[in-house]
Chains A and B, each alone.
Chain A
Amino acid sequence: MPAVEVSDVSKRFRLELNRPTSVKEAVLRFGRRDVRHVWALRDVSLAIEKGSFFGLVGHNGSGKSTLLRLMAGIHRPTSGRITAQGRLSALLELGSGFHPELTGRENVFLNGAMLGLGRRQMAAAMENIIELSGVGDQIDAPVKIYSSGMYMRLGFSVAVNVEPEILLVDEVIAVGDEEFQQRCLQHMESLRSGGTTIVLVSHDTALVRELCDRAGWLDGGCLRSVGDPDEVVDAYLVHVADGGPEPAAGR
């Protein structure tokens, strides 16, 4: 059984321009509303095997982050089904899953609770988390004062220290410094050898070729190809050389 199974998934976002933000406005603007829909994903089917390292490439706005968010359960697909088996930990963009008012330490516990881990388990992992994140004493300061690098480092440290069975990573390592990027890669490698399924979104095609067992290419919300990373990345790069993405996802 695959760790993540995506069957015929489409996602449509509702986009309202100048959306009224109060009852008063809504009443005043009654009947004159500009609602559009954006198809971020169309009929995507994909099975990611347990223990594999899957790379996702594609142009800006092609739906990569949306697909990860659906896998993480943040959004619900408009149609189709997504199932993920096992404890899932996700690093989506900056500041994934931190409450700005809480301290780093409190956020670690809160994150743990969201992932289904108790206080005792998180307390046991705390030392490793603080060590890897390198935030030091600032662990007891509210995360809103963190630099973007610190934010991301703490997020990454939590994500890899909760023994995830599935790890989703969306283009976040790029924010860290050279040393941290190296450590991230090492950690992902060791998680992979421990049997964790990893899904990585990256614009770094060399990295995808090097790390991934399989890759997929999203273009305008459609999965254009999936398979051997070298072939997928080559096809994607040929397409880029040929003049770029499909016109923006339609209505």
Chain B
Amino acid sequence: MTVKHPGLRAALLLSPAARTGARLVRSFAERETKALYKRNLLGWLWSLLKPLTTVAVYSLVFGVIYRATAPSTANGQAEVFALYLFSGLVVWNVFNTIVNGSMRWMDGVSELRKKIYFPTETALIGGAAATLLQSSLEALVLVLIMAVLANVSWTLVFLPVAMLLAALFALGLGFAAAIVNARYRDIQHLTTIVLSVGFFMVPIVYTPDIVPERAYGLPVARLVELNPLNSVIAVTRDAVYFLEPPDIADLATAAAWATGVFVAGLAFFRRRSMAISEEP
């Protein structure tokens, strides 16, 4: 029998290789989820502690001490800086956790990969899937708070879209980082540093409109605007905060970056991960 559309068959999980890949992704995702929560409710609640603490601390510093104001929500009721912040943070956490996690997930299976063949990328994709699952819980809390404030609308469907785009973008970078980190172990520390700078390059703890046009000779506003994550965050804000359909330009930019980086990262990973199995 000849396979006429291998791509389509793979997409529909009809080819054996695609099914094997899907099973492995599931196994790795389950392992990661179980490691995080040990299968109990308290574990899941515990996982909310960190993001909620972050929201509380930044709200205190920027919202209360610096008196930063957030634009009003769609229904004009709330002007809660914490919620403006939280909506950006949900997506940032997806991105940050996956980029950092990729190196860890790779390390978790690299010994195994020296002894048995399996598509190594499934470990990273599984980890990312587990991260998305955890982040949906954060997203749910955000949406519930918004519901209490009567600030919800059909535009919420774009929240999972934004999270998925952030995940794809992060995985693309994570694929590359994992390969390089397998040889040069300080990449994980450098990545942490770059990410903590990156956090402030995206309008999460501030609104895009307060960014000065130029500072110290640098076109700061332009830099923030060009940051690929900026459009993902913008899509998120529209979806949950302003309750507007996303700006098509933002959505297109986010989607283009996410798929481009994901495809390039995966190609690089596939080409180089074979050599990892030969490392002594």
- Of A14, A23, A99, A111, the residue contacting B186 (CB under 8 A) is A23
* Docked complex Cα distance between A134 and B234 (Å): 57
Q: Which residues from 102 to 144 on chain B have a C-beta closer than 8 Å to any C-beta of chain A?
A: 108-109, 111-118
Interchain CB contact under 8 A, B108 and A118:
no
* Residues in chain A near residue B23, CB distance under 8 A: 113, 118-119
Contacts of A102 in B (CB 8 A): 31
How many residues of chain A have a CB within 8 Å of chain B?
35
Interface of A is mostly: loop
Near B by CB (< 8 A), chain A positions 117-175 give 118-119
Verify B116–A99 contact, CB threshold 8 A.
no
A51 to B190, CA, bound (A): 53
Q: Of the listed stretches A67-75, A195-203, A212-220, name the one at the interface; the rest are far from the partner chain.
A: A67-75
State whether A97 touches B190 (Cβ < 8 A). no
Q: CB of B20 within 8 A of chain A?
A: yes
- Quote the shortest CB–CB distance from A14 to chain B (angstroms): 7
Shortest beta-carbon distance, A106 to chain B, in Å?
7
Please measure, in the bound complex, the distance between the C-alpha atom of A160 and the C-alpha atom of B139, giving whole angstroms. Answer: 46
User: Is A187 in the interface zone, CB < 8 Å from B?
Assistant: no
* B11 interface residue (CB < 8 Å to A): no
Instruction: Give min CB distance, A221 to chain B, whole Å.
Output: 15
B24 beta carbon closer than 8 Å to chain A: yes
For the complex formed, measure the closest distance between the CB of B120 and the CB atoms of chain A, giving whole angstroms: 11
Within the assembled complex, what's the spacing in Å between the Cα atoms of A19 and B279? Answer: 11
Q: Is the CB of B31 within 8 A of A93?
A: no
A75's partner among B27, B277, B280 (CB-CB below 8 A) is B277
Q: Contacts A21-B184, A99-B108: A113 and B27 contacting too (C-beta < 8 A)?
A: yes
Please state if A21 and B183 are interface contacts (CB–CB under 8 Å): yes
A20 near B24: Cβ-Cβ < 8 Å: no
Report the separation of the CA atoms of residues A75 and B111 in the bound assembly, to the nearest whole angstrom: 13
Let me know if B24 and A113 touch, CB within 8 A: yes
> Contact at A101–B108, with CB atoms within 8 Å?
yes
- A72 close to B117 (CB less than 8 A): yes
- List residues of A whose CB falls within 8 A of some B CB: 13-15, 19-24, 26, 72-76, 90, 92-93, 95-102, 106, 109-111, 113-114, 116, 118-119
Can you name 18 A-B pairs with beta carbons within 8 Å? A22-B184, A22-B185, A23-B187, A23-B190, A24-B186, A72-B117, A73-B117, A75-B274, A75-B278, A97-B115, A99-B109, A100-B111, A113-B23, A113-B24, A113-B26, A113-B118, A114-B117, A119-B23
